[in-house]
Amino acid sequence: MLRRRFLKSSLAVGVSSSLMGLTGCSNFFSGLPADLTDLSAIDLSLAIQDKHASCVEVMQAYLDRIHTYNPVYNAIISMVDDDDLFNQAFAADQALARGEYQGWMHGMPHAVKDLIPVAGLAYTNGSPIFANQIAQEDQAIVTSMRDAGAIFIGKTNVPEYGFGSQSYNPLFGATSSAYNPDLTAGGSSGGAASGLGTRMLPVADGGDMMGSLRNPGAFNNVIGFRPSANLVDGVASGPRALSTLGPMGRNTEDTIRLLQTISAGPVAEQFTAMNLNDVNIGWMGNMNNYLPMETGVLELCEANLSVLAEAGANIEPTMPRMDMSDLWYSWTTLRHASRDAMLDFYNNPETRMQLKEEVVWEIEQSFLLSESDVARANMIRQNWYRELDRMYATYDILVLPTSQVFPYPVGTPWPQEINGQPMDTYHRWMEVTLYASLGGIPAVNVPVGFDDQGRPMGMQIIGNYGEDQKVLEFALAYEQITDHLSQRPNLVAAI
């Protein structure tokens, strides 16, 4: 009711000038979907730029959808007041009327992952320690999106400090998969992926240390892209970071466009779907039975590899010439060693009691490490770089399942076992994602379809360091020969 009053009183005159542009563009307008939230991000951008839809109309469509579905899926948190958002959308329409177009995200609603600060918005990291924290300034990628015209409507939900691939925390609760509210959205970019899958967001940002863009991409049937290390932050030299920020989208094209916006490093202006004929693909599967996989995961991936083969790709099973347990040692050692930044929270009794069990465990694991442990881990990592170079001398692309399990119940913190094999840590079930992370190499989740319970799954398309364009152009080609992204969920509305 409040939104209707605002529209009626404040926008009656101002919006009319932008709506008048519709009369001269009836052909395009007649082709717009009844619900603007059905447009891809790029098509939505064009509709706004060409005044086929006003920013106010777009904001109303998205807020209506959020109010209808977010109480069930819990993807978007710390929402900005509706009236404030409509005022910002109205200002964006007025700017367009003056010929002031900010960029491709002009007037587009956007929610930022809650591990990233946005000036003036809540910045909790999913932790009760920061329950009342308001960010004082934008992180660089937020500045880039703001400069492109985005309107920030709130944040997307995360696990506490991003630990674990299940987006729940004591402040906001758990986020559900767009395809079944009883199942997890994954994480740590779970709110972002669920927001895309439910079409409560046009496009989304996230971050990835151990599959945090890829795993929720698979669990919500959307695209999640982990760029090469240091591409987004623009660091030209130095060691490859274990984690990186990156884009997510309902399709590959939208994902590429957001990557171009948030990247501080060089990103190609033009992307063309790869010609799949004679592309050499190395299929690593379950690493010769090293990785336990829930029944159905490999079968879905292999069915889609057959589609690629029919399109002309050459597919061979392959295995790294390394001890897989060495890679796990290297990964966990370097991961634990990075936790010293959280020591102040651990050493303070008041804040330590507010940390979740997995965070405390990771910090305490760092106490057990010696300099020689870290040196050995880095040596293994260097060997992994060389092994990747060897494999990419034969293969254009390496492929792995995105997850070892399908989306699991939203009330389960993490899988305790896979096919009867116990998981000895809270993140062992995500081991399949560490190979790209440890290499600092680009990997994109692409969908492979659904099991007989309707649970979505994906596979990782992985390129060598710096081959981001190749990976994304492969994803564009894959999208042309599959139809998984068109299979939308049957959403459950709030009562």
Res. 398 pLDDT band, cuts 50 70 90: very high
Question: Per the domain annotation, does 29 fall within a domain?
Answer: no
Q: Whole-angstrom Cα distance, residue 14 to residue 397?
A: 52
Note down the domain range covering 476: 280-486
Tens digits of per-residue pLDDT, 225-267? 999 999 998 887 789 999 999 999 999 999 999 999 999 999 9
Residue 342, SS3? Answer: helix
pLDDT for 74 equals: 98
Q: Residue 452 sits in a domain of what CATH number?
A: 3.90.1300.10
Highest mean pLDDT among 231-245, 337-351, 475-489: 475-489
Total tally of structural domains belonging to the chain: 1
pLDDT of 143 above 90: yes
Look at residue 319 and tell me if it is in a domain. Answer: yes
Neighbours of 230 (CB within 10 A): 20
pLDDT higher than threshold 60 for residue 14: no
223-226 vs 244-249, strand pairing mode: antiparallel
What is residue 321's predicted lDDT score, i.e. its pLDDT? 98
* 51 within some domain: no
Tell whether 426 is covered by a domain: yes
Question: Does residue 188 have a cis bond before it (omega within 30 degrees)?
Answer: yes
Phi-psi label, residue 164: left if phi above 0, alpha if psi -120 to 50, beta otherwise: left
Assigned domain for 81 exists = no
Tally of CB atoms within 10 A around 138: 20
pLDDT band at 309 (very low <50, low <70, confident <90, very high): very high
Q: Between the CA of residue 121 and those of 40, 110, 151, 156, 158, what are the distances in Å?
A: 26, 13, 12, 12, 15
- In the prediction, which pLDDT does 197 show? 98
Residue 472 above 60 pLDDT? yes
Residue 204 · residue 189 · CB < 8 Å? yes
Residue 447 — pLDDT band, cuts 50, 70, 90?
Answer: very high
Say yes or no to pLDDT of 2 above 70.
Answer: no
Mean pLDDT of 383-390: 98
The string of pLDDT tens digits covering residues 181-207 is 999 999 999 999 999 999 999 999 999
Mean pLDDT of 257-284: 97
Instruction: Output phi, psi for 210, to 5 deg.
Output: -130, 55
Overall pTM > 0.85: yes
The reported pLDDT for the residue numbered 430 is 98
Q: What percent of the chain has pLDDT over 90?
A: 91
- Taking residues 131-145, report their average pLDDT: 98
Enumerate residues 6+ apart whose C-beta is below 8 A from 132: none
Inside any domain, residue 327: yes
pLDDT of residue 9: 37
Q: What average pLDDT does range 158-180 have in this prediction?
A: 98
**pLDDT number for residue 147:** 98
pLDDT of residue 21 exceeding 60, the answer is no
DSSP letters spanning 253-290:
HHHHHHHHHH-SS---S-------TT-EEEE-TTTTTT
pLDDT at residue 86 greater than cutoff 80: yes
Does 310 reside within a domain?
yes
What share of the chain has pLDDT > 70, as a percent?
94
Band of residue 13 on the pLDDT scale cut at 50, 70, 90: very low
| Mean model confidence pLDDT for the chain | 94
Residue 22 has pLDDT above 60, yes or no: no
Q: Assess if residue 442 is contained within a domain.
A: yes
Which of the four pLDDT bands, split at 50, 70 and 90, describes residue 30?
low
Residue 341 has pLDDT above 90, yes or no: no
